[in-house]
Amino acid sequence: MRILVVEDDKDLNRQLVSALEEAGYVVDKAFDGEEGHFLGDTEPYDMVILDLGLPEMDGISVLEQWRRDKRTMPVLILTARDRWSDKVAGIDAGADDYVAKPFHMEEILARVRALLRRASGNATSELECGKLLVDTKGARVLYDGTAIKMTSLEYRLLSYLIHHKGKVVSRTELVEHLYDQDFDRDSNTIEVFVGRLRKKIPASLIRTVRGLGYCLTEPDNEG
Ligand code: CA
Q: In what order do the strands lie in the sheet with 26-30?
A: 26-30, 2-6, 47-51, 75-79, 97-100
Question: Residue 170's pLDDT is what?
Answer: 94
Is the domain covering 126-216 a CATH 3.30.230.70 domain? no
Question: Residue 221's pLDDT is what?
Answer: 54
Q: Which CATH architecture has domain 2-119?
A: 3-Layer(aba) Sandwich (3.40)
AA identity, residue 173? E
Ligand 1 mean position, distance from CA 113 (Å) = 23
Alpha-carbon torsion, ordered 66, 171, 200, 17, to 10 deg: -30
Indicate yes or no: pTM above 0.75: yes
- Using one digit for the tens of pLDDT, what is the confidence trace for 28-79? 999 999 999 999 999 999 999 999 999 999 999 999 999 999 999 999 999 9
- Using one digit for the tens of pLDDT, what is the confidence trace for 116-148? 999 988 888 899 999 999 999 888 999 999 999
Helix (H) or strand (E) holding 99: strand 97-100
Residue bearing the bigger pLDDT, 220 or 100: 100
Ligand 1 mean position, distance from CA 6 (Å) = 9
Q: Helix, strand, coil % (nearest 5) of the chain?
A: 40, 20, 35
Beta carbons within 10 angstroms of residue 68's beta carbon:
9
Is residue 222 pLDDT above 50, yes or no? no
> Would you kindly state where each structural domain of the chain is located, as residue ranges?
2-119, 126-216
Ligand 1 mean position, distance from CA 82 (Å) = 15
Ligand 1 mean position, distance from CA 126 (Å) = 33
- The Cα–Cα gap between 26 and 10 comes to 18
Residue bearing the bigger pLDDT, 27 or 221: 27
Ligand 1 mean position, distance from CA 157 (Å) = 32
Question: Residue 181's pLDDT is what?
Answer: 74
Protein residues near ligand 1, an ion, with CB under 5 A: 8, 51, 53
Ligand 1 mean position, distance from CA 54 (Å) = 5
